[in-house]
């Protein structure tokens, strides 16, 4: 999902991502996320947060899984290289 997916929203991509992550990662209801955003000076409705979660939740989850798998692949590659160096010496 590119920036064009966010062009119809007045709210920035970072705020949408923050709201979705708060809802998904914290044991919070939509109204609790609305209150947390309000404390940060972002006025939204709980229905708006629900719309964002429905629309962008899978996109953000896919990006997290992709980054996590890349990190795991990279760390396992480094580990194998260390083993090869230890075996050679």
What is the tally of structural domains in the chain? 1
Q: Tokens at residue 54, please? A: 């429905």
Domain housing 12: 3-88
What is the model's pLDDT at position 70? 79
44-52 mean pLDDT? 93
33-46 mean pLDDT? 94
35-61 mean pLDDT? 92
CA distance 47 to 60: 19
Residue 78 has pLDDT above 70, yes or no: no
CA distance 40 to 63: 25
pLDDT averaged over the chain? 82
């Amino acid at each position: 999902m590119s920036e064009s997916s966010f062009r119809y929203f007045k709210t920035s991509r970072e705020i949408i991502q923050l709201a979705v992550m708060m809802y998904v990662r914290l044991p919070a209801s939509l109204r609790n996320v609305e209150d947390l955003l309000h404390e940060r000076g972002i006025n939204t409705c709980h229905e708006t947060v629900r719309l964002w979660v429905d629309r962008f939740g899978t996109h953000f989850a896919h990006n997290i899984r992709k980054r996590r798998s890349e990190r795991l692949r990279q760390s396992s590659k480094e580990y194998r290289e260390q083993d090869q160096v230890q075996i050679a010496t």
